[in-house]
Amino acid sequence: MFRGETISDDNPGVTLAISADDRSGLFAGGDISFAAGPHEPHFASSNQYAGYAWRKNKVSFEVGVIHRDYRRMYDDAYRPDYFEGFVGISNNRGRVRLYVSPDYLQDGRNTYYGELDARLAKVAGWKLNGHLGVSLIPHDVTDPQRGFISYEDWGLSVSRKIGQFDFTMGAAATNYPVFGPRGNVRVRAALSRAL
């Protein structure tokens, strides 16, 4: 799932990720995802990122860049391979990030995305997490209107530790059809382990 959309055509998948955080505040990492298909597994996405973070009291600040690469796009006005710069602020209850991309659109105009992720509750080892996101995309170049169109995405999930694994399940949706048709609520479940 990415911003309320499936990047695996609703098929199950596996993601491998690696990350490094230095005491100086520098951080970097990457991941690659493969999805099952009707005939054989296939590449779904990969991300590589680097940045710098610093803490002041109980608040963390970050700045960085992400390179994203996706197997396909539903709308050919967007690049499947693009960069985003970001800034963020977080504490132990949530995080706000703002992104800007100079090459998400094929025509090279800037796009923007903001997201809020928060832990809404914690009960008996379970965590309830919420996500809200807003994309600001310029009007089509043939449209006489100026400014941006806004699109929204949301997600709710519950998670808990099960032995050495982290289990998450939830639902998400968006009205922004980049990876697939709009309007469908997606349900997901994930099992992960850090080594």
CATH of residue 61: 2.40.160.40
- pLDDT per position in the chain (195 positions), as tens? 888 887 777 788 899 999 999 999 999 999 999 988 777 788 888 999 999 999 999 999 999 999 999 876 556 777 888 999 999 999 999 999 999 999 988 888 999 999 999 999 999 899 999 999 999 999 887 777 788 989 999 999 999 999 999 999 999 988 876 665 556 788 899 999 988
The 3-class SS string of 90-144 reads EECCEEEEEEEECCCECCCCCEEEEEEEEEEEEECCEEEEEEEEEEEEECCCCCC
7 in any annotated domain: no
28 in any annotated domain: yes
140 in any annotated domain: yes
Q: Which domain holds residue 156?
A: 13-192
Number of separate domains in the chain: 1
d(CA 151, CA 136): 7
1 in any annotated domain: no
132 in any annotated domain: yes
